[in-house]
Amino acid sequence: MRSQLFVPGDSEKKMSKGLECGADCLFIDLEDSVAAPNKETARRMAREFLAAARNRESRPLLYVRVNALDTGLTDRDLDEIMPARPDGVLLPKSQGGADVQHLAAKLAVREAENDIEDGVTSICCVATETASAVFGLASYRGASRRLSALTWGAEDLSADLGAETNRLEDGTHAPPYQLARTLTLLAAVSAGVQPLDTVYPNFRDEAGFRRECIAARRDGFTGKMAIHPAQVPIINEIFTPPPAEILRAEKIVRAFLDDPNAGVIGLDGEMLDKPHLERAKKLLARVAGAKGRGE
Ligand code: COA
Ligand code: MG
What is the 3 state secondary structure string of 249-265? HHHHHHHHHHCCCCCCE
* Mean pLDDT (whole number) for 187-215: 97
Q: Are residues 112 and 195 in the same domain?
A: yes
Give CA–CA dist 193/198, Å, rounded.
Answer: 16
Q: Are residues 59 and 123 in the same domain?
A: yes
Give CA–CA dist 290/110, Å, rounded.
Answer: 28
Q: What is the pLDDT of residue 138?
A: 98
Whether 66 contacts 88, CB under 8 Å: no
Q: Are residues 70 and 206 in the same domain?
A: yes
Q: Are residues 66 and 122 in the same domain?
A: yes
Q: Are residues 152 and 13 in the same domain?
A: yes
Q: Are residues 215 and 184 in the same domain?
A: yes
Q: What is the pLDDT of residue 288?
A: 81
What percent of the chain shows pLDDT beyond 70? 98
Q: What is the pLDDT of residue 231?
A: 98
Ligand nearest to the CA of 8: 1
Whether 21 contacts 229, CB under 8 Å: yes
Residue 52 C-beta-side C-alpha neighbours within 13 Å: 9
Q: What is the pLDDT of residue 290?
A: 67
**CATH number of 57's domain:** 3.20.20.60
Q: Which of 69-78, 99-108, 222-231, 267-276 has the lowest mean pLDDT?
A: 267-276
Whether 139 contacts 165, CB under 8 Å: no
Q: Across all residues in the chain, what is the average pLDDT?
A: 95
- Give CA angle at 190 (236, 261), nearest 5°: 90
Ligand nearest to the CA of 199: 1
pLDDT digits (tens, 9 = 90+) for 120-131: 999 999 999 999
Give CA–CA dist 273/292, Å, rounded.
Answer: 32
Q: Which of 15, 17, 62 to mutate to test the pocket of ligand 1 (most atoms within 8 A of CB)?
A: 17
Domain of 179 in residue numbering reads as 3-238
Strand partners, 272: 265
Alpha carbon nearest to ligand 1 atom 27, residue: 228
Q: Are residues 183 and 274 in the same domain?
A: no
Q: What is the pLDDT of residue 287?
A: 84
Q: Which of 209, 227, 232 to mutate to test the pocket of ligand 1 (most atoms within 8 A of CB)?
A: 227
* Mean pLDDT (whole number) for 216-237: 97
Q: Say what the pTM is.
A: 0.92
* Mean pLDDT (whole number) for 36-43: 98
Q: Are residues 234 and 267 in the same domain?
A: no
User: pLDDT confidence of 286, banded at 50, 70, 90?
Assistant: confident
Q: Are residues 204 and 142 in the same domain?
A: yes
Q: Are residues 127 and 179 in the same domain?
A: yes
Q: What is the pLDDT of residue 289?
A: 73
> Is the pLDDT score of 294 beyond 50?
no
> Separation of 2 CA from ligand 1 center, angstroms?
19
Q: Are residues 139 and 223 in the same domain?
A: yes
Ligand nearest to the CA of 232: 1
Please say which residue of 238, 255, 273 terminates a domain.
238
> Is the pLDDT score of 76 beyond 90?
yes
Q: What is the pLDDT of residue 39?
A: 98
